[in-house]
Chains A and B, each alone.
Chain A
Amino acid sequence: GAVVSQHPSWVICKSGTSVKIECRSLDFQATTMFWYRQFPKQSLMLMATSNEGSKATYEQGVEKDKFLINHASLTLSTLTVTSAHPEDSSFYICSAKTSGAYNEQFFGPGTRLTVL
């Protein structure tokens, strides 16, 4: 199956700093990538949908100035958490969508962010 990677897998940062998370589709081109946030023992919360070459579409309640998304190519999307605070600590997961019959999503392994 298609492989999606995320980097880093785990990051600790100080409050007020910015953190960039990369999401790559390794063996397919993804016209659409999604960014999710997941708190412990809770389901995936969609943060934004990004299409290559265009601005991301953010879900209601997600601050676009805080969570900057760039989908620069068909294989790479980045999420930057700006001026991170402890409440931003979470598990961030990206997924990439193929153009198959039902547009299956393939998920990355996730990035655990801890803000001190």
Chain B
Amino acid sequence: QKEVEQDPGPLSVPEGAIVSLNCTYSNSAFQYFMWYRQYSRKGPELLMYTYSSGNKEDGRFTAQVDKSSKYISLFIRDSQPSDSATYLCASYTGGFKTIFGAGTRLFVKA
């Protein structure tokens, strides 16, 4: 079992839709949870991070962590074609290694 599981998609939505991206993890020691966005042939860029359980909002993006169910979510409101990318969830215990999910490819159609 992978430590961080993520459905690779692809996920295709119309412009303006609310997008829900999800991951599950297995290691109870994970404390930090991140979402990265990666455009084709580019390095990942950090979108959001949360510490422990709870919600965090930044503009059209909301990150949610439920430690009781080991579930990580990223919601994108009013999705735009420019949001089309691969989204990677990641978790981290506070040591050195960050564990990445496989990434979900998102396509937002105009």
- Using a CB–CB cutoff of 8 Å, the interface residues on chain A facing chain B are 1, 4, 6, 32, 41-44, 46, 49, 91, 93, 95, 102-110, 112
**Chain B residue at minimum C-beta to C-beta distance from A45:** B100
Tell me how far the C-beta of B70 lies from the nearest C-beta in chain A, rounded to whole angstroms: 19
Residues of B within 8 A of A112 (CB): 41
B8 pairs with A93, CB closer than 8 A: no
Residues of A within 8 A of B100 (CB): 43-44
- Using a CB–CB cutoff of 8 Å, the interface residues on chain B facing chain A are 6, 8, 32, 34, 36, 41-46, 49, 51, 88, 92, 94, 96-98, 100-103, 105
B102 pairs with A49, CB closer than 8 A: no
Q: List 27 A-B contacts (CB under 8 A).
A: A4-B43, A32-B96, A43-B88, A43-B100, A43-B101, A43-B103, A44-B88, A44-B100, A49-B96, A91-B41, A93-B44, A95-B43, A102-B49, A102-B51, A102-B92, A103-B92, A103-B94, A104-B34, A104-B49, A105-B46, A107-B36, A107-B43, A107-B45, A108-B43, A109-B43, A110-B41, A110-B43
